Chains A and B, each alone.
Chain A
Amino acid sequence: MTLASEAVWTTEDVKLCGATLRLRKGGAGDPLLLLHHDIGSLDHLPFYDALAKRFTVYLPSHPGYDGSERPTWLRSVRDVAVMYQGLLASLELGHVSLVGLGFGGWIAAEMATMAPHAFRRLVLVGAMGVKPAQGEILDQALVSYIGYVRAGFEDQSAFDRLYGADPSTPQLEQWDLNREMTFRIAWKPYMYNPTLPHLLGGVRSRALIVWGRGDKVVPLECGEEYARALPGSRLAVIEKAGHFVDMEQPEALAELISEFAAGS
């Protein structure tokens, strides 16, 4: 990716439910709300720039993650989903496409159940939120910060390229802060909502489920469950990618989303 193709990104503070959230915005085109992973997000990623060529991308830091203030009262992922409904209202955005990555995919799925017709497109990538029937969602409470993030990459050189082979202490502290916030809202049951599969049946937004073939964080069977539960949805499996499809196959994922969004 060359510098010339990179979008201009701006950062602003948005006040929501008493907390100040950090909102990144970039690109041009139809509005797209992008929800990041539980580990938080780097400011710049090729995937974001690739999406920004086709969409106006809104990328908030989840409440309590990265630069966003922690609402001490927040207790569930559904609470976050409601906050983001408020964010869309305050930005006066309607009929946006909603893309959720991993943990952000869970938030997106909850948002879709709250407003069945509201989203132009719904894309869930390696989404947490439903309980696997056979396997388990990898429990970050039992693995190190670095071990957990590395587990999300099929190709470890991609991790090294993005975070450095030995990530900095400030990065570790940020992962710890984000992990603490994840515990505050998703400790038990860990990383799923038992009522979600039932509620997904009411969603009327067109949905695409995307999974990395090598996802060792959320089992592929969860993608199949989402595809069963979301009416009219389909599952696309991306090769040579683990949980962080966005960081391992940014161009392929952006292309898939753009094509899905372009369809009628």
Chain B
Amino acid sequence: MHLMYFTEQPMSAYPVEAGREFGATALMFSNRHFDPVAGSRLYNEYLEHYKLAEEVGFDGIMLNEHHNAPFCMQAKCNVFASILAAMTKRVKLVLLGNPLPLADNPVRLAEELAMIDMVSRGRLVSGFVRGGGQEQLATGVNPAFNRERFEEAHELIIRAWTQPGPFRWEGTHYQHRVVNPWALPLQKPHPRVWIPGVLSKETIIWAARQRYPYIALSTAIDATKKIWELYDSVAAEAGYTSGPENRGYLQRCHVAETEEKALANARQFMWMQGEFTGLAHPVWSTPSGYFSPSYRKAFVEFAVGRGANPRAAAFEDQIRDQQIIAGTPKTVIPKIRRLLEETRPSIMGFWTSDGFVSNADATSCIRLLGQEVLPVVREMGKELGLWSPFEANAPVSIKEAKGPAPAAA
């Protein structure tokens, strides 16, 4: 198994009442409420958490980014990946990921990622995402071309990493006279690409066609099983058999010395009222053209308050469905076992704390997980045959699987 540590890097140091009064804090909640003194303290606390996660035995650190929102302080995951590339020694740096459509110059991303891979001595996992709805508005990128830009930027980055330059790129959304970056990834044929997601079937299908591991973000167990049914069927059509090495899962999991404390802290996962990507305004989170036409009816009804948010669920439901796990090391282990047995992922991210959880509790949670939970989970992984892409030496992509055998990273 590949066991990762994750935090959204919440920016909780703002007047809660002002946020509640404004309502949707993602995108338009004024940054006059942003306190750089608290921001500086939090960034440095989060860096300490990452260091601790490596010390206590996590295999990877998962990073992400969002814009204009207090629920996530990372505005550029490549910045933290760069810091951690030099600061850590062993963990994989798993970016889930760079929002490709937001990039006006994907070659620049290819350069940055290559630099991170070299500085970290080949520890980069380069995930890619579409970016949330608000992200398109925050960066002025046309939501109607989101998926087209995602696919074209991906193709350009992989080409920049694998095809010797210089070459010319004349695409639909990107045009480059000269692609010839003098920074190339250390890992060959290129760093692994993992694709996280929560809702869009199109993304699952796309990831399966590429043979990229898909990381389900805190979906309920039944929904996760459906994701793997779809992934496996697309894999079969594409001519390969998918297994645990193609499956990842991000588990919200808070561990404390007592049940009561764990449950109280786990409620902080709901500090954005269950919204996965921050407290979103229904219109801003679902700009026209961003979602596939199959969701159009559900989202227009949500946007005018006529339908429930297709993404949010109540705390009790999320505890029941194990989207959130909370307890002592002893009580969370059987729950993790159930997840592993029923959905068979080999990549497990642990999102340990959120919202207003204190630095002391967040730190204690990482320590407890590392010392008492991860060793048990690792043994379960061996027992259940949940070999990670690294352990299975899985090909980095369907394209590379068809070509010569990949060299070990």
The chain A residues found within 8 Å of chain B, CB to CB, are 141-146, 169, 172-173, 175-177, 179-180, 182-184, 187-188
Closest to B284 in A: A142
| B144 and A184 contacting across the interface, CB-CB below 8 Å | yes
A169-B300 in contact (CB<8A) = yes
Contact residue among B287, B288, B304 (Cβ-Cβ distance under 8 Å from A146) = B304
Could you list 10 A-B pairs, sorted by A, with CB under 8 Å?
A144-B303, A172-B300, A173-B296, A176-B296, A179-B288, A183-B142, A183-B144, A183-B287, A184-B145, A187-B142
Q: What chain A residues lie within 8 Å of B296 (beta carbons)?
A: 173, 176-177
Interface residue from A142, A144, A173, A175 paired with B137 (Cβ < 8 Å): A142
Interface residues in chain B, defined as those with a beta carbon under 8 Å from any beta carbon in chain A = 28, 137, 140, 142-145, 282-284, 287-289, 296-297, 299-301, 303-304, 306
* 10 closest A-B pairs by CB: A180-B289, A179-B288, A180-B288, A172-B300, A187-B142, A183-B144, A184-B144, A144-B283, A176-B300, A176-B288
Which chain A residues border B282 with CB–CB below 8 Å? 144
CB of A235, distance to nearest CB on chain B (Å): 32
Inter-chain CA distance A142–B142, complex, in Å, is 13
User: Between A and B, how many residue pairs show CB distances below 8 Å?
Assistant: 53
Closest Cβ of chain B to A150, distance in Å, is: 12
Cα-based distance from A98 to B301 in the complex (angstroms): 36
Query: Which chain B residue lies CB-closest to A188?
Result: B140
What's the Cα separation between A142 and B288 when bound, in Å? 11
Q: How near does chain A come to B262, taking the closest CB pair, in angstroms? A: 39
Write the nearest CB–CB distance from B280 to chain A, whole angstroms. Answer: 13
- Nearest Cβ in chain A — how far from B327, in angstroms? 41
B145 CB, min distance to chain A CBs, angstroms: 7
In the bound assembly, the distance between CA atoms of A180 and B144 in angstroms comes to: 6
Once bound together, how far apart are the Cα atoms of A188 and B301, in whole Å?
27
Known pairs A144-B304, A172-B301; list 4 more (Cβ under 8 Å).
A169-B297, A175-B300, A179-B289, A183-B287
A44 CB → nearest B CB, Å: 23
Distance from B229 Cβ to chain A, minimum over Cβ atoms (Å): 29
Residue among B137, B283, B306 with the most chain A CB within 10 A?
Answer: B283
- Determine whether the beta carbon of A183 is less than 8 Å from that of B284: no
Contact assessment for B300 and A141 in the assembled complex, using a CB-CB cutoff below 8 Å: no
A143 to B282, CA, bound (A): 10
Which residue of chain A has the shortest Cβ distance to B282 in the bound complex? A144
With known contacts A141-B137, A169-B306, A176-B288, A188–B297 Cβ distance under 8 A: no
Cross-chain contact A183 with B297 (CB below 8 angstroms): no
CB atoms of B289 and A184 under 8 A apart? yes
Q: Are B288 and A172 in contact (CB under 8 A)?
A: no
- CB contacts (< 8 Å) of A143 on chain B: these are 283
Which residues of chain A have C-beta atoms less than 8 A from B144's C-beta? 180, 183-184, 187
Smallest CB separation, B114 vs chain A (Å):
30
Bound complex: CA A143 to CA B137 (Å): 12
With a cutoff of 8 Å between Cβ atoms, the chain A residues found around residue B145 in the complex are 184
In the bound assembly, the distance between CA atoms of A187 and B137 in angstroms comes to 11
Distance in angstroms between the alpha carbons of A187 and B287 in the assembled complex: 12
The answer for the CA separation of A179 and B282 in the assembled complex, in Å, is 15
- Residue of B at shortest CB range from A147? B283
Question: Please, which residues of chain B bring their CB within 8 A of the CB of A183?
Answer: 142-144, 287-289
Task: Find out whether the CB atom of B142 lies under 8 angstroms from the CB atom of A188.
Answer: yes
In the bound complex, CA of A184 to CA of B146 (Å):
11
- Chain A residues whose C-beta falls within 8 Å of the C-beta of B289 in the assembled complex: 179-180, 183-184
Q: Which residues of A have CB within 8 Å of B143?
A: 183
Residue of A nearest to B305 (CB): A144
Q: How far is the CB of A171 from chain B (nearest CB, A)?
A: 9
**Complex CA–CA separation, A28 to B282 (angstroms):** 46
Complex contact A173–B300 (CB within 8 A): yes
Contact of A142 among B283, B300, B303, B306 (CB under 8 A): B283
Q: Which residue of B lies closest to A170 (CB)?
A: B297
Contact A145 B300 (CB under 8 A): yes
Residues of B within 8 A of A177 (CB): 288, 296
Chain B: CB-nearest residue to A172: B300
Q: A180-B144, A187-B142, A187-B144 are in contact. Are A145 and B304 (CB under 8 A)?
A: yes
When distances are taken between beta carbons in the complex, the residues of chain A under 8 Å from B284 are 142
Partner of A173, one of B140, B283, B297: B297
Measured between alpha carbons, how far is A146 from B283 in the docked complex, in Å?
A: 11
Complex-state Cα separation, A172 to B298, whole angstroms: 11
Q: How far is the CA of A180 from the CA of B146 in the complex (A)?
A: 12
Measured between beta carbons, the chain B residues less than 8 angstroms from A175 are 300
Q: How far is the CB of A205 from chain B (nearest CB, A)?
A: 33
Give bound CA distance, A184 to B282, whole Å: 21
- Distance in angstroms from B30 CB to nearest chain A CB is 14
With both beta carbons as reference points, the residue of chain A lying nearest to B301 in the complex is identified as A169
* Distance from A136 Cβ to chain B, minimum over Cβ atoms (Å): 15
Q: Chain A's nearest CB lies how many Å from the CB of B220?
A: 27
**Residues of B contacting A188 with CB < 8 Å?**
140, 142
Most buried by A among B143, B145, B283, B300: B300
Contact check: which of B137, B140, B304 meets A172 at CB < 8 Å? B304
A182 to B289, CA, bound (A): 10
Which residue of A has the minimal Cβ distance to B172?
A73
Q: Is B304's CB under 8 angstroms from A141's CB?
A: no
Residue of B nearest to A181 (CB): B144
Report the minimal beta-carbon distance from A148 to chain B, rounded to whole angstroms: 9
CA A229 to CA B179, docked complex, whole Å: 43
| CB-defined contacts of B297 to chain A, threshold 8 Å | 169, 173
CB proximity of A102 to chain B, nearest CB, Å: 17
CA distance A143 to B301 in the complex (A): 14
Question: Closest chain A residue to B293 by CB distance?
Answer: A177
Tell me the bound Cα distance from A144 to B143 in angstroms: 16
Chain A residues near B283: list those with CB within 8 A: 142-144
Tell me the minimal C-beta distance from A138 to chain B in angstroms.
Answer: 13
Residues of A within 8 Å of B299, CB to CB, are: 176
Q: How far is the CB of B399 from chain A (nearest CB, A)?
A: 26
Question: Which residues of B have CB within 8 Å of A180?
Answer: 144, 288-289
A47 to B103, CA, bound (A): 45
List chain B residues, Cβ under 8 A from A146. Answer: 304
